[in-house]
């Protein structure tokens, strides 16, 4: 692992941009991205984002949104990636981060090895982080990960308004 300080927000923007380029029929929206000068393996964390974003696109119908948030809270940075796709039934959730695990219904229709989430969970673990999800079948899924921050990182947080790309659709905020 190559641990270096980097702008967390720039890493997110880069991964969103690269997945968006391959996903013409989805709008990936970065709703909020607190920035922090984070110490970690930038390339591998970008790989985690790419895996989760690619899944969000792959397992959701065309013209739906994928919504990303990154917020600093309780000495950590928490990232969420929400999709409005096929969702995951409860009985599969505990197996999802295992090697080569795929949900049968989806394995039929989409190509994949069932390694993306396994690799992602290993990378998050190596950063002393956690990875989890919430999902409802037929409604969608939200994948979360949390990476702990060192105190000096927290001094350099800047709040951000988010970023809407040209495919963005208006986001409803609950009042």
Q: Give the Cα separation of 41 and 47 in Å (integer).
A: 10
The interface partner of residue 88, options being ligand ATP, Mg ion, none and the CB cut-off 5 to 8 Å by kind, is: ligand ATP
Q: Which two tokens stand for residue 132?
A: 């989890």
Instruction: Supply 102's token pair.
Output: 């795929």
Q: Which of 15, 20, 55, 60 binds Mg ion (CB under 5 A)?
A: 55
* Helix, strand, coil percentages in the chain from 3-state DSSP, rounded to 5: 35, 30, 40
Q: Which residue in this structure is represented by tokens 């999800």?
A: 133
Q: Is 71 one of the binding residues for ligand ATP (CB under 6 A)?
A: no
CB atoms within 10 A of CB 67: 22
Segment 74 to 93, residues that bind ligand ATP, using CB under 6 A: 83, 85-88
For the chain, the farthest-separated pair of C-alpha atoms sits apart, in whole angstroms, at 48
Tell which one of 23, 51, 69, 80 touches ligand ATP (CB under 6 A).
51
Interaction partner, residue 18 (Mg ion, ligand ATP, none; CB < 5-8 Å by kind): none
- Does 141 sit near ligand ATP (CB under 6 A)? yes
Is 15 a residue that touches Mg ion (CB under 5 A)? no
Q: Say how many C-beta atoms besides its own lie within 10 A of residue 127's C-beta.
A: 20
Residues that bind ligand ATP (CB under 6 A): 51, 55-56, 59, 83, 85-88, 96, 101-103, 106-107, 112-118, 141
Residues that bind Mg ion (CB under 5 A): 55, 116
């Amino acid at each position: 692992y190559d641990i270096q300080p980097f702008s967390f927000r720039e890493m997110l923007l880069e991964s969103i941009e690269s997945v968006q380029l391959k996903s013409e029929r989805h709008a990936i929206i970065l709703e909020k991205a607190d920035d922090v000068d984070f110490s970690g393996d930038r390339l591998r964390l970008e790989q985690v984002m790419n895996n989760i974003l690619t899944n969000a696109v792959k397992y959701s119908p065309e013209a739906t949104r994928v919504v990303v948030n990154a917020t600093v809270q309780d000495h950590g940075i928490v990232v969420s990636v929400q999709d409005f796709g096929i969702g995951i039934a409860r009985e599969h959730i505990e197996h999802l981060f295992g090697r080569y695990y795929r949900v049968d219904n989806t394995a039929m229709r989409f190509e994949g090895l069932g390694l993306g989430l396994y690799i992602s969970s290993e990378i998050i673990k190596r950063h002393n982080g956690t990875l989890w999800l919430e999902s409802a079948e037929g409604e969608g899924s939200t994948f979360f990960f949390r990476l702990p921050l060192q105190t000096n990182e927290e001094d350099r947080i800047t709040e951000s308004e988010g970023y809407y790309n040209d495919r963005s659709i208006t986001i409803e905020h609950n009042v």
